């Protein structure tokens, strides 16, 4: 009982500390630029950003653009995750496949992803596909590496034991490899969820008239720093939502593990 009270006290103190820091940050943001004589076109005050936020909801269709960015992020994240899991598993169970394909995958990872965005725009035009493809490229590699490492570290004695009981390849995958790969997979999914939004924004900034990235480019061209701040804040919120969804899924799937084993937050 005392342990439960201690946990509640820690959570309560953390919430109050977080709230106090948020209030302090807002006060500093509101009055700091005035005190240090920073022009509004460099750092606008918090109140001016809030006013611009309310204006953008009506005039710039802010929530509609945020929804487009959110859907593109989800699509890029899901497709990139599935590709990363599939390729990571194939390379993990087949050293020959890893030897053949790993140089090309490494070259694809080393190449700057931003450079692909204009190429995708040339191929697919000003559609949602270039944004999704850039996100797929960015999400793919960390998940593939995590799954590959997880499959390679599966206890071979467990696999040999399963084979002595005439277990099929599907049974070995479902009962041993899949279970052991879950914690590293979700570590990769966490990383991928934060990177997916970056890929989408790059695609929207390079070629597109919809999405928060397009609003950010418009704000830059118009010299509207407050609108740029609004776009960045909305992008952060979208990223937090996607990351939070991964955390919730992780807790449901890995409920059988202590939090310390899968870095639960």
Domain boundaries, the chain: 1-38, 44-262
CB distance 247 to 186 below 8 Å: no
What was the pLDDT predicted at 121?
Answer: 87
Alpha-carbon span 226 to 46, nearest angstrom:
9
What was the pLDDT predicted at 8?
Answer: 67
CB distance 246 to 73 below 8 Å: no
What was the pLDDT predicted at 257?
Answer: 63
What was the pLDDT predicted at 253?
Answer: 85
What was the pLDDT predicted at 41?
Answer: 86
Is the entire prediction scored with pTM above 0.85?
yes
Nearest Cα neighbor of 154 from 184, 190, 191, 186 is: 184
Nearest Cα neighbor of 87 from 46, 52, 137 is: 137
What was the pLDDT predicted at 189?
Answer: 93
Residues of the chain with confidence (pLDDT) below 70? 1-9, 11, 255-265
Alpha-carbon span 137 to 116, nearest angstrom:
9
**Topology classification of domain 44-262:** MetI-like fold (1.10.3720)
Nearest Cα neighbor of 225 from 33, 68, 35 is: 33
What was the pLDDT predicted at 6?
Answer: 65
Both tokens of 238, joined, read: 């979208």
What was the pLDDT predicted at 101?
Answer: 86
The per-residue pLDDT for range 3-53, each reduced to its tens digit, is: 666 666 676 777 787 888 888 998 999 898 888 888 888 999 999 999 999
CB distance 147 to 84 below 8 Å: yes
What was the pLDDT predicted at 214?
Answer: 92
């Amino acid at each position: 009982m005392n342990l439960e009270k201690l946990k509640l006290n820690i959570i309560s103190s953390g919430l109050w500390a977080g709230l106090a820091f948020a209030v302090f940050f807002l006060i500093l943001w509101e009055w700091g630029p005035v005190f240090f004589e920073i022009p509004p076109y460099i750092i606008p005050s918090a109140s001016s950003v809030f006013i611009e936020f309310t204006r953008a909801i009506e005039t710039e269709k802010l929530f509609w653009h945020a929804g487009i960015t959110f859907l593109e992020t989800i699509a890029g994240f899901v497709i990139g995750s599935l590709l990363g899991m599939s390729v990571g598993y194939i390379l993990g169970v087949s050293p020959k496949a890893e030897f053949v394909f790993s140089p090309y995958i490494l070259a694809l990872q080393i190449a700057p992803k931003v450079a692909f965005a204009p190429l995708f725009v040339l191929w697919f035009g000003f559609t949602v596909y270039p944004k999704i493809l850039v996100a797929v490229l960015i999400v793919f590699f960390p998940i593939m590496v995590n799954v590959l490492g997880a499959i390679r570290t599966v206890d071979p004695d467990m696999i040999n034991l399963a084979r002595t009981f005439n277990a099929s390849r599907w049974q070995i995958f479902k009962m041993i490899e899949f279970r052991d790969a879950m914690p590293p997979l979700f570590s990769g999914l966490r990383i991928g969820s934060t990177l997916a939004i970056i890929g989408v924004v790059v695609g929207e900034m390079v070629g597109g008239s919809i999405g928060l990235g397009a609003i950010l480019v418009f704000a830059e061209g118009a010299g509207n720093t407050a609108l740029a701040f609004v776009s960045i804040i909305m992008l952060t919120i979208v990223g937090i939502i996607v990351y939070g969804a991964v955390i919730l899924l992780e807790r449901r799937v890995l409920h059988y593990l202590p939090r310390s084993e899968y870095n639960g937050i």
